[in-house]
């Protein structure tokens, strides 16, 4: 299993466990991540997502949509130059 897939799985599990109607919010974070053109932008989105996740630990939502959005967000964050170690940290690995 490649590193991106492992990170996606960890991130999607993190998202599925604690999100208020997570699918819509995570989709917004994924959209922001995919609009990034550099590492600074990707890191900002990741930091914002981490803060949002901490504030919304007890929320629920469509886990399938949230997982798909988390996968898209992870891929975009990495392709924008974010260090895989930061994504691992975000995913709680």
Q: Across the chain, which distance is largest between two alpha carbons, in Å?
A: 32
Please check whether residue 30 is in contact with residue 76, taking contact to mean a CB–CB distance below 8 angstroms. yes
Contact, 32 vs 45, CB < 8 A?
Answer: yes
pLDDT digits (tens), the chain, 93 positions: 455 655 655 565 555 444 456 788 889 999 999 999 999 999 999 999 988 888 877 667 787 888 888 889 999 999 999 988 888 777 664
Residues of the domain holding 52: 3-90
Q: How distant, in Å, are the alpha carbons of 51, 71, 75 from that of 34?
A: 19, 11, 8
pTM of the entire predicted model: 0.77
Domain count, the chain: 1
CB neighbours of 90 closer than 8 A, spacing ≥ 6?
Answer: 11, 14, 46, 49, 50
**Do the Cβ atoms of 39 and 81 come closer than 8 Å?**
yes
Angle between helices 39-55 and 22-35 (to 10 degrees): 170
């Amino acid at each position: 299993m490649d590193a991106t897939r492992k990170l996606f799985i960890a991130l999607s599990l993190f998202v599925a466990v604690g999100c208020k109607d997570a699918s819509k919010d995570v989709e917004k974070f994924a959209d922001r991540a995919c609009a990034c053109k550099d590492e600074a932008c990707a890191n900002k989105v990741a930091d914002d997502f981490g803060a949002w996740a901490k504030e919304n630990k007890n929320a629920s939502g469509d886990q399938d949509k949230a997982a798909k959005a988390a996968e898209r967000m992870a891929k975009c964050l990495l392709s924008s130059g974010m260090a895989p170690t930061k994504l691992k940290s975000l995913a709680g690995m």
